[in-house]
Structure 1
Amino acid sequence: MKKFRQLVIPYIVWSVLMLLLPMLLIAMYSFMKQGNSILPFKLTIHNYVKFFTDKDFLMILLRSLLIAVKTTIICLLLGYPLAYFIAKTPEKKRNNLILLITLPMWINMLVRTYAWIGLLSNDGLFAWIFSLFGFKHVELLYTETAVLIGMVYNFLPFMILQINTALTKIDPSLIEASYDLGASKKETFRRVILPLSLSGVISGIALVFLPAVSSFFIPKLLGGGQYFLIGNVIENQFITVGEWNFGSAISMIMAVIMMLSMYLVRRIDSNNHQQEDE
């Protein structure tokens, strides 16, 4: 048993170097500001005060949270029916369908997002489709709609796979018992299938919301720099402006928001498991 415990050491070292240490450095930078030649750095909470007292930054944060919520809702509305359809297919076909969903994920996300620039441009596929229905000069690229499409496209597979996993784990005998007791298909879905698949729904929500709220290259490419989210602000502070301290403060604020979101998701998931056990 002790030999197996030693195998954990490399993972602990890796986690400390790649996760814990960078977070500590970001936290340290967030509470500092540049001083003078005698005292290079000074401790301060000015970076946090600057963020929470600036209406522009708060509006960008609110916009980021809203588009993440919209992305999550759309992914849930699209992902659950698709996951349910996949779960109901025979195993061989199910594996092929899952392969079709995961196949685009083999390509780099940046490359896939670049492809949407051509599709959403004025000379792209969507503009041509709209022109067939009499809608001309419809601006899609560099809008919130374009950013939302890019978000949903990139994060929808995470929702589908999580829900599909939960649906395939449901014992078929429970569904058969529901039918034997006289329940209709709608009642069986509402009282048996949906409650038992909530764990996958919750996991899918977490896997979509968390990366969506902090995404920066999707709004940068499809928003054309005209649709700023909080991830773009952080990137701008580090790369363009050079305000590492303020960028670190925003990063820590987003880290706290994400940790609170994960805690909330875990609480909901644990309560759901307790209700299932009861």
Structure 2
Amino acid sequence: MSVARRAGGTGPIIVQSMQRERNIEVQYGERLTRGAHFIRSALTSGPGLLWMQVFLLIPLLAIVFISFLTRGAYGEFHRPLTLENYARLLGFGPFGFDSLYPAIFLRSLALGAFTTVLCVLIGLPLAFFIANLPPRYKTGGLTLVVIPFWTNLLIRTYAWQILLAPQGWLSRLAATLGLVSTDTPLYPGLFAVGVGMLCDFLPFMVLPLYASMEKIDWNIVEAAMDLGADHRQAFRHAVLPQVRPGLVAGSVLVFLPATGQFVIPDLLGGAKTALLGNAIQQQFGPSRDWPFGSAIVVAALALVIAGLWIQARFAAAKGEPLAP
């Protein structure tokens, strides 16, 4: 009787011991699994992270640091750290206020805004048209949109120089139709710049818009029409809110790089005005003023970050993803 009681008393102790051993084994197995997952993740993402640190993060930090230095007589760097380059960028130079670089920034922003509006006006109906094509024709429509990317930017720009030249067939056709006078050539000028920028950046607007239009709920549009909305009202209140993510993403993808574009305005606009890209190239090239050029780069990066932040805030406010 006492033996049975003793055995019954040790039974729960044995069960608890077995449970503790099982818990230890489970925890040890989980640790091994987490360790193996960490090692596998490190092996797969480690080279990419190392590449980004060496070729992106370190040069970026160097650019930021150099922007606070000053240029010597022969292009060398001098300390102490100063905000002189940023003050000069805002127009406050050693000889008083100079509007050159503020004007360059404003001109670049105006070019980016002009290109964005142009791409929206052309890209919105084009993306709508492609999204409503029969499925077997959609791939062909998208291929026609991205075909310009198959050739180099310089080749495309030189091609537009030939097509829009005063003796080119497009200029003669426009003069024949009375769209322009014979004394007003299409190239060089604002029209040629607009055509070149549109050709270069239109795909960045069409593709996000197309992705959003593929997800349109047409039941909402039909409900708006049934409630008495005309086509304009249905587009404004039923279609446009649904394609807003693509419109915002496309605008960011067009506006930010367009502000730094200088090849197309130089070649098609007659190289009469300096833009942000020209200023950076000038400071890192002939002028050898790397500190001031670095300050311009940092300001341009701040512009990019501000644009991405606005897009993120807009998407968060609407409860939408950052990109379609």
Tell me if TM exceeds 0.5.
yes
Measured in 2, the distance between the counterparts of 1:82 and 1:4 equals 42
2:243 to 151, 174, 197: 197
Does the CA-based 8 Å contact 1:199-1:272 persist in structure 2? Answer: no
> Which is worse superposed, 138-147 or 75-84?
138-147
Aligned to 1:41: 78
Using the TM superposition, give the Cα deviation of residue 17 of structure 1 relative to its aligned residue in structure 2, in angstroms: 2.1
1:13 aligns with 2:50: yes
- List gaps (5 residues or longer) in structure 1: none
Using the TM superposition, give the Cα deviation of residue 184 of structure 1 relative to its aligned residue in structure 2, in angstroms: 5.1
1:15-164 correspondence runs (5 A): 15-35=52-72, 41-42=78-79, 43-53=81-91, 54-134=98-178, 135-164=181-210
Aligned to 1:227: 273
Using the TM superposition, give the Cα deviation of residue 50 of structure 1 relative to its aligned residue in structure 2, in angstroms: 1.4
Measured in 1, the distance between the counterparts of 2:257 and 2:169 equals 28
Measured in 1, the distance between the counterparts of 2:170 and 2:280 equals 32
1:267 aligns with 2:305: no
Using the TM superposition, give the Cα deviation of residue 145 of structure 1 relative to its aligned residue in structure 2, in angstroms: 3.0
Aligned to 2:297: 251
Using the TM superposition, give the Cα deviation of residue 93 of structure 1 relative to its aligned residue in structure 2, in angstroms: 0.9
1:167 aligns with 2:213: yes
Please, what is the CA RMSD of the aligned residues?
Answer: 2.3
Measured in 2, the distance between the counterparts of 1:26 and 1:143 equals 35
Does the CA-based 8 Å contact 2:130-2:141 persist in structure 1? Answer: yes
- List gaps (5 residues or longer) in structure 2: 1-36, 92-97
When normalised by structure 1's length, the TM-score is: 0.90
Structure 1 SS opposite 2:70: strand
Does the CA-based 8 Å contact 1:127-1:138 persist in structure 2? Answer: no
Measured in 1, the distance between the counterparts of 2:288 and 2:189 equals 27
Does the CA-based 8 Å contact 1:198-1:272 persist in structure 2? Answer: no
Q: State the structure with bigger RCO (CA 8 A, min sep 6), 1 or 2.
A: 1
When normalised by structure 2's length, the TM-score is: 0.78
Structure 1 SS opposite 2:271: coil
> Which is worse superposed, 200-209 or 179-188?
179-188
Paired residue type of 1:196: Q
Using the TM superposition, give the Cα deviation of residue 219 of structure 1 relative to its aligned residue in structure 2, in angstroms: 1.7
Structure 2 SS opposite 1:245: helix
**Identity percentage of aligned residues:** 36
Alignment length (residue pairs) = 274
